Structures are given as C-alpha cells and as structure tokens.
Amino acid sequence: MSSLDKIRVLIVDDIQEARDNIRRMLTFEQSVEIVAAAKNGREAIDMAVELKPDVIIMDINMPDMDGIAATEEIRKKIPHIQIVILSVQSDPSYMRRAMLAGARDFLTKPPMIEELAAAVKRAGAVAASEKARSMATYPPTGTESGPARSNLSIQNGKIITVYSPKGGTGCSMLAVNLALALNGPNTPTALVDCSLQFGDVAVLLNQQGKNNLIDLTSRVDEIDPDIVHEVMVSHVQSGLHILACPPRPELAESVTGEQFGKLLHFLTDIYAYIVVDTNSYLTEPVQTALEYADSIFLVTSQEIPSIKSCNLFLTLADQSGLRNRIYFVMNRFDKRITITPEKVGESLRQPIVGTIPFDDKTVVNSINRGIPFVLENKILPVSKSILELAALVQKKSPAHESAMERELIGKK
C-alpha cells in the first residue's frame, strides 16, 4: 500500500510508555502510518497544524491542556482531522464532553488492539470523506471554518412536525407510529425528538444510545452524512433512524432554534421524511420545527381544554401563515362522547382529516413494551388510522415545494 493511501496517525499522551504501547498496537496495521507523537495538548495542536494527520489518538487527562480542550481547538483549525479519545474512565459524562468537543470515538484505556484498529480505520474513512468534501465546498482561500451549507442541494426530503398545544394528547405515540409507517426501503425516515427536556421517543421504541440530538446541533456546521448515521440510533426491527433528546433536562437550553433549523435542513438531503416530535411549549427549536415543516400534524383530543388550546394555536397559525400546512387529527376518539370530529372541525374552521380511535389497551401495552402497534398488528383499527395518515403525506404532490425551498426562494 502506498504511503499516500495510508491513514496518517498522530499519538498524543503525556506518558511515554502509553505512547509506545499504542504505536506497537498499530505496528502491523498496513493501512496505518504513525507520523508523530506528542506529549501534551498544546504540542498536539502544533503538530496537527504542521503535519495535518488524518487521525489523532488523544489521551483525555494530560497536564497543561487536556485532551478535550485540545480536540476542540484542533477541530476548529483543521476540521477534517478525526480524533479518537482514550480515557481510563468510562464515565458517560466524559464521553459526552468528548463528543461535544468534536471527537469521533471514545475508547476506555487501555484499548483492545482490535477495537483501537477498528476505531482508527473508521475515523480514517471519515477523514478522507471530509477532505474530499471540503475541496468541493470550501473556497480556495480556505478562510471559512466549515462546509458551506448554502451550497447543499435540496433533495425534497419532507419535514413532518407533530404538535399539540396541550400536553398529554399522544403526540409522541403518533410521531413514532407515523414515522414507522412512512419508513421503507425507498423512503428512509428519521424520527427526531424535539421534546428536548422530557422526550419519550427512544423509550417508546425501547432504544438506548450513547448519542443524542446535541451531538449534531453542537457542531451542525461540520456534520456530514457519515456523522449523522453514526449519531442516529437505528431501530433493529424497522431500520428507522432515531435522534433522541438530551439525557438531562438542563441540556435542552444549549440547543438554539438556528442550530435546529440547520440540522433539519441537512437531514432533508439524507432522508425522504423527517418526523419531528415536539412538546407543547413553543421553545425556539419547536417554533423552528413548525416553521420548517412541510406538514404539521396538529393533535387534539375530545376534551374541551385540548380543543380550546388548538383553537388558540390555529389563530397563531393564521398570523404566521402555517394553517395551510396543518393536518388536524383527533386522538383517542371515543364514539360514546358527543363531541365529534365534525363538530370540532366546523367550530375551529379546520376540518379534522384523521381520527385515531380510543384503544387504551393496545396503546398502553405498546408503550410499556416499547413495541409500536403499527409494527405488531397492522389490521387493528388504531394501526389502520396511522397508516391512513401516512398515506395522506405520501399522496402529496411531488411538485410540492418543501418548506426549506420556500425559505430559500423567499430570501432571493
């Protein structure tokens, strides 16, 4: 293998023995070339700027400047460099800090030879992709600090936002099952949890992952499809991609509307559908999800407070030009209650286009087991109602402009 084709690696550790051990681990990897070794974070930054390696293997605990601070600085200066963090502590908080700083991978120290080699190869592949993409998107002067997102072509991925101004109406249940109904071999779908403080999307699918939405929004100007796919949790049964909410409520404040908008923009290049679950409070990210939506599923129940809140939201929708994108849906529809979808639609001047029948036994059992009912039994009335809503989205004209296209056109 030519040296030009090899993954160029810089080792950073304040202990000589640790540096030598890592070098020995990678000695027999023909695709890897060790270009240098640094003993602290500041030295690593200087070597990274001078040598421009593909991958840096970085110890997290070092004097002078730790690995996380060095990682953040290096990623700002040379975005294509991918960094694999090593730490004697497997604490999730360390892992999260490393990922937020821009690290590609996080391994517990000392790593196994196989896992270290695999991490370096994965990071090397991403570095090669980043370098190729940067040559196409960066101006020759090299003055920009990230890929030019404005040059991305819109691939007509559709954003579907599920929202209710009243909590407890079943938005998350609808979002999860709708995303599964839309997902298919030719229609890859992402499910994004924008209920940032107390989201339940991952729980409803019985999924756990070390990554979450902040891992993308915090470096949204640097992401590429490989990074997105690595952060997303893939649902084994369906292949649906899931982007979970942050693990702690206070972290929600770090996500801005601008960051979330850029992320949604990027996802439309990768997925046919992006289904966004939201909470009732109109935070900046929730407002962005509504503004960028091609379709808004507004959810009500038969309770008067829920209907009243939807009426207030529809007034806001009139003022902001959102009403023509709304699909008004009634969840937990019980025929024994005299408040019918027809009466509600007439009263609010917004016809209800779909009803999800009351079936607490099926729904609660589905939620508690983490197995969405559209996967388990498609012939149940509650499942059929979701599939009908998905069909409404799928029948939308291909010529229909996406929300992102409308925004770009409006700015010209």
Smallest CA-to-CA distance from 10 within 24, 23, 21 is with 23
- Name the pLDDT band for 357 (thresholds 50, 70, 90): very high
Per-residue model confidence (pLDDT) at position 352: 95
The token pair at 366 is 């589905």
- pLDDT attached to residue 103: 82
Return residue ranges of the chain for CATH 3.40.50.300. 158-411
Lowest mean pLDDT among 126-140, 294-308, 340-354: 126-140
Q: Among the CATH numbers 3.40.50.720, 3.30.565.10, 3.40.50.300, 3.40.50.2300, which is that of 158-411? A: 3.40.50.300
Mean pLDDT (whole number) for 107-129: 86
Say whether the peptide bond before residue 110 is cis (omega within 30 degrees of 0). yes
Q: In what order do the strands lie in the sheet with 273-277?
A: 233-234, 241-243, 189-193, 273-277, 158-163, 295-300, 326-333, 352-357
CA distances from 159 to 109, 175, 274, 390 (A): 41, 12, 5, 13
Residue ranges, comma separated, of all CATH 3.40.50.2300 domains in the chain are 3-137
The pLDDT score that the predictor gives to residue 66 is 87
DSSP code of residue 252? G
Average of pLDDT values for 233-240?
A: 88
Q: What is the mean pLDDT of residues 209-231?
A: 87
For residue 357, CA distances in Å to 51, 261, 337, 339 come to: 63, 33, 12, 14
In 3D space, the residue among 280, 199, 262, 258 whose CA is nearest the CA of residue 233 turns out to be 199
* 163 vs 210, higher pLDDT: 163
Q: How confident is the model at residue 219 (pLDDT cuts 50, 70, 90)?
A: confident
Binning pLDDT at 50, 70 and 90, where does residue 76 land?
A: confident
**Cβ(220)–Cβ(262) under 8 Å?**
yes
Contacts of 154 (CB under 8 A, 6+ apart): 268, 269, 402, 404, 405, 408
**How much is the pLDDT for 193?**
95
| pLDDT recorded at residue 154 | 35
For 295, the enclosing helix (H) or strand (E) is strand 295-300
**Burial class of residue 281, CB neighbours in 10 A (0-12, 13-18, 19+):** exposed
Give CA–CA dist 233/239, Å, rounded.
9
| Confidence band, pLDDT 50/70/90 cuts, at residue 92 | low
- pLDDT, average across residues 196-204: 89
Q: Could you report the per-residue pLDDT of 128-182, keeping only the tens digit for each?
A: 876 765 554 333 333 333 333 333 333 578 999 999 999 999 999 999 999 999 9
Could you give the CA distance from residue 52 to residue 47 in angstroms, rounded to a whole number? 7
Query: Residue 135 has what pLDDT?
Result: 52
Higher pLDDT, 403 or 297: 297
Amino acid at 35: V
Write the pLDDT tens digit of every residue in 20-42.
999 999 988 889 999 999 999 99
User: What confidence score (pLDDT) does residue 405 get?
Assistant: 43
- CA-to-CA distance for 89 and 94, rounded, in angstroms? 8
For 3-137, CATH gives: 3.40.50.2300
CA atoms of 173 and 188, how far apart (whole Å): 19
**Max CA-CA distance within the chain?**
77
- Neighbour-count burial of 152, counting CB atoms closer than 10 A to its CB (0-12 exposed, 13-18 middle, 19+ buried): middle
Nearest residue to 144 (alpha-carbon basis) of 79, 208, 190, 193: 79
Q: Name the packing angle between helices 284-291 and 257-267 (round to 10°).
A: 40
What percentage of the chain has pLDDT greater than the value 90?
53
**β-strand partners of 85:** 58, 106
- Residue 275 three-state SS: strand
Query: What is the reported pLDDT for 259?
Result: 93
